[in-house]
Structures are given as structure tokens and as C-alpha cells.
Chains A and B, each alone.
Chain A
Amino acid sequence: GAVVSQHPSRVICKSGTSVKIECRSLDFQATTMFWYRQFPKQSLMLMATSNEGSKATYEQGVEKDKFLINHASLTLSTLTVASAHPEDSSFYICSADPLAGKDNEQFFGPGTRLTVL
């Protein structure tokens, strides 16, 4: 149980393209999902907290107009990188906090590798 999927697993796009990444909790419901970005050989940095039915909360320095988050249901959150540029190339990872789990649990997705040419 507690499986989180991400789609796509890998995307290569041209500069200026908008890219949508989906994060799904497959066997549980999650009111809260988190989006992280990880550059090569670096740690995971929290970008935003996504709450079902309300606006996402962004971390300091993360542009909300650049990284659009929608959490329309208890099992799906999407991250759209608007007008992607090469510096947006990174590994994007989501996690989900189960409704019925322990307070501190987050289950991570397998990540999405974004390469912007």
C-alpha cells in the first residue's frame, strides 16, 4: 500500500514550452501533497505544499506564476512548469500525506526528470 506515482517519468522539451507533471496517490487519499525539486548531487528542496481544494503554499523564492499547482482531488496534484527554460531542468519529486496515516508520514513518488533544451 501507500503508492505514489508520477507521470511522466521523463520529459524533454524545448525552451518556452509548458510542462505538466502529475502526482497520484494510487491506494490512499491525501489532502496534502508536496512538490520538491532536486538538482544533480543536491538534496531535495521543498517548492510548495499543495492542499486539496485550496491554493498551494509556496516556499520563499519559488515563483507561483512559474510553477502552477492544482490539487483538484484527494488523489491528484499537478505541477505545471510554465514557459520552461534550461535552468528549470531538474528532478521533480512529489510526496503525499495520507488522510488516515500517521501524522508525520509522507510517501514519495518516483520523480520526474525534466530536461529543457
Chain B
Amino acid sequence: GQQLNQSPQSMFIQEGEDVSMNCTSSSIFNTWLWYKQDPGEGPVLLIALYKAGELTSNGRLTAQFGITRKDSFLNISASIPSDVGIYFCAGQLHYGGATNKLIFGTGTLLAVQP
């Protein structure tokens, strides 16, 4: 199935550092979402972006919807140990009344050393 390209694949950082990850696609999406998944759990929504160019923050998290609608980035500032997990981007197309499927990125594994 289709997947979005996410980079980096993994990151190993020190507590307090800032983190940046991005997601690119060959297709246009109407909505970009960022999720965090802890081991053995379902993904949890962090940020949703609905307009091209939109920049949205949620606490220490900031995400932007690319102007071309084919990419998005997520920044985490001042990382803490509980930020550890796998981060997924997801793109969504709207088909005017049809079901809105999510296409997930390949994931970024974040490890934070205290």
C-alpha cells in the first residue's frame, strides 16, 4: 500500500534538545496529521493541520502544512524522556462525502537520553 516518506528514520538525542522530523509525499493531501505511538499501543493524535501553509502548536510541539500540500514537518522543543516513542505523519484526502482514508508515513523512532 501507499506510504509517505518520513525522515529521519530514527533519532537519538539528549534531554533538552530540539527535534525536527518531516514527511513528504508525491501526492497532494488536504489534511496532515501527526501521531505518537508508544510500544504496544495505538497511535495518539498530536496535531492536525487543515490548510496549506498552516503552522500549529500544541505545547512544545509545532507542525506545519507545506505550501505545496505534499509535505509537513513536526518540531519538538526541549525534549523530555517521555517524548520517547514512534512518531507518524499521516495524510488524508477528502473525496467530497466519501470516506476519508489516512495514509501513514514510515515513522520516526525518537529516543531521548536523560
Q: Measuring CB to CB, which residues of chain A are less than 8 angstroms from any residue of chain B?
A: 4, 6, 32, 34, 42-46, 49, 51, 57, 59-61, 91, 93, 95, 97, 102-111, 113
Contacts and interface: CB of A to CB of B under 8 A. Distances in A.
22 contacts: A34-B102, A43-B3, A43-B88, A43-B106, A44-B88, A45-B3, A46-B101, A46-B102, A49-B101, A91-B40, A93-B43, A97-B100, A103-B94, A104-B33, A104-B48, A104-B50, A104-B92, A105-B45, A105-B48, A108-B44, A109-B42, A111-B41
A61 to B, nearest CB: 7
Interface residues of B, number: 25
Interface in B8-51: 31, 33, 35, 40-45, 48, 50
A110 B39 CA distance: 10
Contact of B42 (A57, A102, A110): A110
Interface in B91-114: 92, 94, 99-107
Contacts of B35: 108
A96 B43 CA distance: 13
B91 to A, nearest CB: 11
B88 to A, nearest CB: 6
Contacts of B44: 108
B1 interface: yes
B101 A34 contact: yes
Given A61-B1, A104-B100, A43 B105 contact: yes
Nearest to B105: A43
Contacts of B104: 43-45
Contact of A111 (B40, B94, B102, B103): B40
Contacts of B88: 43-44
B40 A44 contact: no
